[in-house]
Each structure stands twice: as structure tokens, then as C-alpha cells.
Amino acid sequence: MKIFSPFVANGVYYPNWRIYRNEPPSSLKLGLISHVFYSFAWVKLDGTVYLSDEWADSQIDVDGTKGCLRSFQNLKAKHSHLKVVLSIGGGGKGSDNFAAVAANPASRERFAHTARELVNEYGLDGIDIDWEHPSDHKQGHNYIALLAAIRQHLPSPHYVLTSALPAGEWALRNIDLCNAHQYLDYINLMTYDFSGPWVPQSGHHAQLFSPRHPHNEAARLSADSAVSYVTSKSVPPSKILLGIPAYGRSFLGCHNPGQKYSGSAGEEGTFEYKDLPRPGAIEYTDENLGAAWCVGGDGGWVSYDNPATVKIKAGYARNNRLGGVFFWTGTADGEGSRSLVEASFSRLHTQ
């Protein structure tokens, strides 16, 4: 029997579209998971929160019931430690209406009211705000006003309220984090995507620490630098969840970080973690940086996390008294000794 510490989170995001890949809620390692962030619900311009895919969320036959949300409701009865949180927003369309909604008291109120209706209808434990992201100080102010409105309808401690936030200071500086955390149980710090097709050189996309001699500005970013920035704003470490990607970023034609790659600017090159290392590739781990990669096969140089780096990151979370970790996504995890969720659980809960 797995024993959960009430003070350490081992969370995963579950994207509703994964049901179309034959990955139902029951496929997650729920005995090792404390929080599932069910993504995504969306918000209309008038503030109404609604399900982004009603077929997947409430109608499809899955796990002996109708819809993934009902499945999670039933699974919670079997896993008493589990909290299921409805994540609202996401990239692109999912975040398009947040700025307008948060700027208006009436739409903030409708957001909070309709979010609570969904939480109660499906027996959920709370909501996660994944607004990507407030782009100036005014939006940052309105973001906090939205959190305050939500807390009126979803009071602590009965309901969970979390928020996924970027790891870069360029985004975080728009938010008064000291004020924001008063309303939040956790800040899900997205400590990944430091490097990718938007930069001209290969680089680790989720390193725990920066190298001594960074080859570009992206290489200066790290999970540690993000955590340090957030805690410098008087956010308690216990409210920070360290984000870990269950996917790798590929840089074709490269063998090391800091090299120009053959992909086109803006071209996504990703592999799910469970498909790594690539066939014919060799996997490496840098325990000083807290980063892994593989070279060879069809991916070129691929940056990702493996069980060794996840244990390092989970150890960092423990040593720095963070709230725990989360994964984007739980559905991309490996099996057996290659499981990232298992690796983090074992490190987080080892005495």
C-alpha cells in the first residue's frame, strides 16, 4: 500500500484529448499520484466556464461510466488520497479570453460561479487557472482579482485553487506573487521549455541548474532560477510545485547543446517520454545540471528528463521544502523502471 505524506504533492496533468488515444483516466498510476489536473475547460467572453470537449468530458463510454470526469469521480472513491482539479485555460484558444474576463467584475463573478457549478457537478476538488499568461502589470492585477473572486465561491480549505505559471521572470514580473499566493494552494511552476524551436541553438529544455558557462540566454534559465525568483517574492516554498516535462525536445543535426540545428524556426520537434530514448540512440545524464538527453536515431539531439534526473529534481523539491512536483503529462509516462511518476514518488516519500 502506498502511503502519501499530506505535505508532498506528486501531481500530473491529464489532457482530455488523450482518451482518443486509448488512454483513459484508469491508465494513470493513481496509487502514486496525489493530484490530477484535468485539462482543459475553457472560458467564454462573458466569463462562463465550460467543458472544452463535452464528448470526452461527459459522454464517451470510459471505465464503465460516461465521460472522463465521471471516471475520475469513481476512481476517487477507490483512491481516497486523490484530488482531481479542473484546469481552465491552456495555450492558444484556451487562454484567449482570460484578459477580458479578468478585467470585468461581472465576468469574474460569472467565472467563479460557473467554475464552482462544474466542480460540484462532477465531484471535483477545485480548479487550476492556466492563463498563459498575464502580459502586463494591469493584467497581473486583474489576475489577482480573478483569484479573489474564485476564492469567494471556492473557499479554502475545502476547495483547492492552483495556478500554472511560466518559469520566466519576463512573465512572472507582471504578477504580484506575494499577493497572489494568499489565494492559492499551489503555484504549478512550468519549469520546462527553456529551449526549443524559438531559439537558434540546441539546449536543455528543463535543466534543474544552469551550466557554469551558458551558451545563450536560454541556457541561463533553470528550474532553480525560477524557484529562487518566486521565493524571493515572499512565496512560501511549500506552495511551489516543480514542473517536470514527460516529453523531450529534439534538435536535428546536433550532438551537443549550443549547436545550430537543421530544423526550421517555429517547427515543433517533440517526443513523448515513453518513446525515449529513440531507437538507435544513446542516453546520457548530467547529474550536475539535472538534465538528460539522447543522441542518435531519428531525433538528433533530444533533451528530456529520465528517472535519474527526476529523482534529482524530487530530491531538490524535498531539500528546499517545496510543495512537490507535477508532470505534463501523466499519460506520457514510461513503465517499470522507466516510470517518471514512480521515480518522483519514491524520492519524495523516502525517509
Does the domain made of 9-246+305-348 have the CATH classification 1.20.140.10? no
9-15 and 324-328 beta bridge pairing: parallel
How far apart CA 278 and CA 273 sit, in angstroms, is 10
How far apart CA 326 and CA 167 sit, in angstroms, is 14
pLDDT at 45 over 60: yes
Q: In which residue are the cell numbers 524530487 written? A: 314
Out of 14-23, 178-187, 189-198, 213-222, which region has the weakest mean confidence (pLDDT)?
Answer: 213-222
Please give the full DSSP string across 70-111, using - where no structure is assigned. HHHHHHHHH-TT-EEEEEEEESGGGGTTHHHHHT-HHHHHHH
For 262-314, how does the pLDDT look when each residue is reduced to its tens digit (9 = 90+)? 765 455 689 999 999 999 999 999 999 999 999 998 999 999 999 999 999 99
Domain extent listing, the chain: 9-246+305-348
Instruction: Assign 351 a pLDDT band (cuts: 50, 70, 90).
Output: low
- Say what the pLDDT of residue 216 is: 87
- Say what the pLDDT of residue 1 is: 43
Beta strands in the chain (DSSP E): 9-15, 35-43, 49-51, 61-62, 65-66, 83-90, 126-131, 160-166, 186-190, 240-245, 247-251, 270-272, 282-286, 291-295, 301-304, 324-328
Q: In the numeric block, which cell numbers belong to residue 318?
A: 524535498
In the annotation, is 132 catalytic?
A: yes
Identity of the residue numbered 166: P
- Say what the pLDDT of residue 261 is: 86
Of the candidates 290, 277, 347, 284, the residue with the CA atom closest to the CA atom of residue 319: 347
* Average of per-residue pLDDT across 86-106: 97
Give CA separation, 82 vs 12, 28, 72, 241, 330, in Å: 11, 12, 9, 16, 14
Of the candidates 69, 53, 161, the residue with the CA atom closest to the CA atom of residue 112: 161
- Say what the pLDDT of residue 262 is: 78
Q: In the numeric block, which cell numbers belong to residue 76?
A: 476517487
| Paired residues of 37 in beta bridges | 13, 85
Out of 59-68, 135-144, 258-267, 339-348, which region has the weakest mean confidence (pLDDT)?
Answer: 258-267
How far apart CA 90 and CA 326 sit, in angstroms, is 16
Q: What share of the chain is helix, strand, coil (3-state, %, to 5)?
A: 35, 25, 40
Question: Reduced to 3 states, what is the DSSP secondary structure of residue 316?
Answer: helix
Of the chain, the percentage scoring pLDDT greater than 90 comes to 92
Please give the full DSSP string across 192-249, using - where no structure is assigned. --SSSTTSSB---SS-SS--SS-SSHHHH--HHHHHHHHHHTT--GGGEEEEEESEEE
Of the candidates 344, 274, 332, the residue with the CA atom closest to the CA atom of residue 307: 344
Cβ distance 332 to 272 under 8 Å? yes
- Say what the pLDDT of residue 263 is: 67
For the chain, give the mean pLDDT.
Answer: 95
For 134-143, how does the pLDDT look when each residue is reduced to its tens digit (9 = 90+)? 999 999 999 9
How far apart CA 190 and CA 231 sit, in angstroms, is 15
* Average of per-residue pLDDT across 49-67: 98
* Average of per-residue pLDDT across 51-76: 98
- Say what the pLDDT of residue 264 is: 57
For 302-335, how does the pLDDT look when each residue is reduced to its tens digit (9 = 90+)? 999 999 999 999 999 999 999 999 999 999 999 9
Helix axes 105-121, 137-153, angle to 10 degrees: 40
- Say what the pLDDT of residue 59 is: 98
- Say what the pLDDT of residue 235 is: 98
How far apart CA 167 and CA 260 sit, in angstroms, is 24
Of the candidates 198, 191, 185, the residue with the CA atom closest to the CA atom of residue 171: 191
Q: From the candidates 23, 109, 132, 272, which is the catalytic residue? A: 132
Dihedral angle over CA of 79, 81, 87, 91, nearest 10 = -90
Of the chain, the percentage scoring pLDDT greater than 70 comes to 96
pLDDT at 7 over 90: no
Please state whether 11 falls in left (phi above 0), alpha (psi between -120 and 50) or beta.
beta
